[in-house]
Amino acid sequence: MKKATCIFFILLIAFASCKKGNKLQKEQTNAQDIKKQPNIIFIYADDLGYGDVSAYGATELSTPNIDKLANGGLKFTNGYASSATCTPSRFALLTGTYPWRNKDAKILPGTAPLLIDTTQVTIPKMLKTKGYQTGIVGKWHLGLGTGNVNWNARISPGPNEVGFDYSYIMAATQDRVPTVYIKNGYVDNLDPTDPIEIDYNKNFEGEPTGTDNPELLKMVGDPQHSNSINNGVPRIGYMKGGTSAKWIDEDMADHFLAEAQNYIEQQKNNPFFLYYALQQPHVPRTPNPRFVGSSSMGPRGDVIIEADWCIGELLKTLEEQGLLENTLIVLSSDNGPVLNDGYADEAVETLGNHKPGGPLRGGKYSLLEAGTRVPFITYWKGTIKPSVSEALVSQVDLLASLSSLLDTDVVKGDSQNLLSTFLGKTDKGRENLIIEATTRTAFRQGDWILIPPYKGSVINKIKNIETGNSKEFQLYNLKEDIGQKNNLAKAKPEILKELIKNFEAIRGGSYSEIEQPVFK
């Protein structure tokens, strides 16, 4: 071999082994960086708006514990719930499937059957394949049983049948019957001699209601929220019996917190997943007396402070148990904010300068941004570097991303693997996203959002929320116009056309069963 050729080969071998060494080193760093089986906690608030958190710009109230997560982790400014209401968002969160694919994924009554098919992939099921213990504490609102639930026997299927080893839940919402806690399918503290009956259509003879017995109320509801009374608060739906099992609203936050803390303490020696689904600041807003007056804006502000305190206590538990550095926490909300949602609780009157949706337009139930863009934080002490991310991310992506973290093989559907984005290793998020609000859908691509024309009221007068409906196409550049003030549909026909095409390709032709867009 000639000398030059010989030197060339030596160099080539040296280069190859050096590259291999680098790669190996890189892989090792990654493996060290990402501890493989962290505990995973979802802290999921109910109706908490983009502007309800001080880390997201609220000035009229302070949320130091959520801020601690936001400032010590990744604060997403383009993070979305899948829907502007609860049930569809929760469905998407757990299944990684867009809610508009399931026609039953609407706000459910307390008697609705389980919405998630027991054969469907869910985050807790996926985690169980990797040896995780899985638990839910808090609001469920995804239906229970198969119809005609007997509340006095084991209620099944429910959370335990779609992947949770442990469940301590309220069935639907705080404003709906049954107003009891359910532990692993059994109503907690039920006296069998006082069985529970539930009906969403008619009252049980002799049972008081908000409409008929206003003297029993400590909080007044609108006609829809004036059926059975528990703890002086009228609800949606009728309930009889179960007196010993009924919750006391003012204790609910402490009650769920204690359950969550207990769960963490019990599971500390193995990897666990805890879905801590807070009930605040959904109606009825019933702060514990310790928090009454803690904000300047009545019960809605007070329960946000209370929720923030609960989060602080949960963090303390993790710290005390030495778990904080081995726990990935995701904090978000199921949909945007609403002030008047059925009870006279002064949310509107005492608001002052507070903007629950921050700079965003709309609110809960709305296709406009405040309906679905919510606080969205990932926190993992020592692993996620504190930063702000503008990446487009959705709660629907958590399934695929966690699946990637744990190397599991699940059908990902609509869920995209954004693990690197959630861990702050890249700023790149989704290219596009479909959001939903009361069965209507809109399409975000890059900085643009397209809202197709919808019939129906432009403003919900009772809630004072713009719905997002318009007879015209709406097209906004969210980077330049976060408040969706300038509809560019007419000025930017090429962009409009492209978004319509891409939206149709994913969404298909039928946008809504109720309100057909005037699309062509």
- Return the number of the residue (72 or 362) whose C-beta is nearest ligand NG6: 362
Give the binding-site size for ligand NG6 (rule: CB under 6 A). Answer: 15
| Binding of ligand NG6 by 267 (CB under 6 A) | no
Q: Pick the closest to residue 360 from 57, 111, 26 (CA basis).
A: 57
Query: Which residues inside 275-334 make contact with Ca ion, applying CB under 5 A?
Result: 334
Q: What is the CA radius of gyration of the chain?
A: 24
| Binding of Ca ion by 47 (CB under 5 A) | yes
| Binding of ligand NG6 by 306 (CB under 6 A) | no
- If 0-12 CB within 10 Å is exposed, 13-18 middle and 19+ buried, where does residue 461 land? exposed
Query: Which residues inside 332-391 make contact with ligand NG6, applying CB under 6 A?
Result: 335, 341-342
CA 307-312-314 angle, 5° bins:
95
List the one residue from 106, 282, 285, 354 that touches ligand NG6 (CB under 6 A): 282
List the x/- string, 10-49, binding to ligand NG6 by CB under 6 A.
------------------------------------xx--
Tell me the residue nearest to ligand NG6 as measured from the CB: 86
Q: Pick the closest to residue 197 from 185, 189, 207, 184 (CA basis).
A: 207
Residue 483: how many CB atoms within 10 A of its CB? 15
Q: Are 502 and 494 in contact (CB under 8 A)?
A: no
Q: How far is CA 258 from CA 138, 168, 261, 314, in A?
A: 11, 11, 5, 9
Q: ω before 178 within 30° of 0 (cis)?
A: yes
C-beta of 260: minimal distance to ligand NG6 in Å?
20
- Return the number of the residue (73 or 210) whose C-beta is nearest ligand NG6: 210
Residue 49: how many CB atoms within 10 A of its CB? 30
C-beta of 408: minimal distance to Ca ion in Å?
29
Beta-sheet pairing, 448-451 with 440-445: antiparallel
C-beta of 131: minimal distance to ligand NG6 in Å?
33
| Binding of ligand NG6 by 283 (CB under 6 A) | yes
Beta-sheet pairing, 272-277 with 459-460: unpaired
C-beta of 513: minimal distance to ligand NG6 in Å?
18
List the one residue from 38, 46, 370, 463 that touches Ca ion (CB under 5 A): 46
Q: Are 350 and 47 in contact (CB under 8 A)?
A: no
C-beta of 287: minimal distance to Ca ion in Å?
18
| Binding of ligand NG6 by 173 (CB under 6 A) | yes
Bridge partners (DSSP) listed for residue 272: 133
| Binding of ligand NG6 by 107 (CB under 6 A) | yes
C-beta of 95: minimal distance to ligand NG6 in Å?
17
DSSP code for 179: -
Q: Pick the closest to residue 81 from 383, 357, 495 (CA basis).
A: 357
- Residue 236 binding: pick among ligand NG6, Ca ion, none (C-beta 5-8 Å cut-off by kind): ligand NG6
For tokens 């609110």, the residue is 363
- Return the number of the residue (30 or 224) whose C-beta is nearest ligand NG6: 224
- Return the number of the residue (46 or 67) whose C-beta is nearest ligand NG6: 46
List the one residue from 48, 86, 402, 451 that touches ligand NG6 (CB under 6 A): 86
| Binding of Ca ion by 86 (CB under 5 A) | yes
- Return the number of the residue (47 or 259) whose C-beta is nearest Ca ion: 47
**Three-class secondary structure of residue 132 per DSSP:** coil
Bridge partners (DSSP) listed for residue 138: 169, 277
DSSP code for 225: G
Beta-sheet pairing, 432-437 with 440-445: antiparallel
List the one residue from 78, 97, 134, 335 that touches Ca ion (CB under 5 A): 335
| Binding of ligand NG6 by 133 (CB under 6 A) | no
| Binding of Ca ion by 370 (CB under 5 A) | no
- Return the number of the residue (133 or 469) whose C-beta is nearest ligand NG6: 469
Give me the count of residues in the chain.
520
List the one residue from 175, 345, 369, 414 that touches ligand NG6 (CB under 6 A): 175
CA 460-464-470 angle, 5° bins:
45
Query: 48 CB contacts (<8 Å, ≥6 apart)?
Result: 280, 281, 304, 307, 333, 337, 374, 375
Alpha helices in 62-162 (DSSP H): 64-72, 86-95, 123-128
- Return the number of the residue (282 or 361) whose C-beta is nearest ligand NG6: 282
Which region among 43-51, 345-353, 355-363, 511-519 touches Ca ion (by CB under 5 A)? 43-51
List the one residue from 82, 85, 267, 467 that touches ligand NG6 (CB under 6 A): 85
Give the binding-site size for Ca ion (rule: CB under 5 A). Answer: 5
- Residue 389 binding: pick among Ca ion, ligand NG6, none (C-beta 5-8 Å cut-off by kind): none
Query: Which tokens in the block code for residue 439?
Result: 């069965």
C-beta of 278: minimal distance to ligand NG6 in Å?
12
Bridge partners (DSSP) listed for residue 181: 170
CA distance 169 to 165: 13
- Return the number of the residue (126 or 236) whose C-beta is nearest ligand NG6: 236
List the one residue from 125, 141, 285, 361 that touches ligand NG6 (CB under 6 A): 141
Q: Are 234 and 228 in contact (CB under 8 A)?
A: yes
Interacting residue ranges for Ca ion, rule: CB under 5 A = 46-47, 86, 334-335
Interacting residue ranges for ligand NG6, rule: CB under 6 A = 46-47, 85-86, 107, 141, 173, 175, 224, 236, 282-283, 335, 341-342
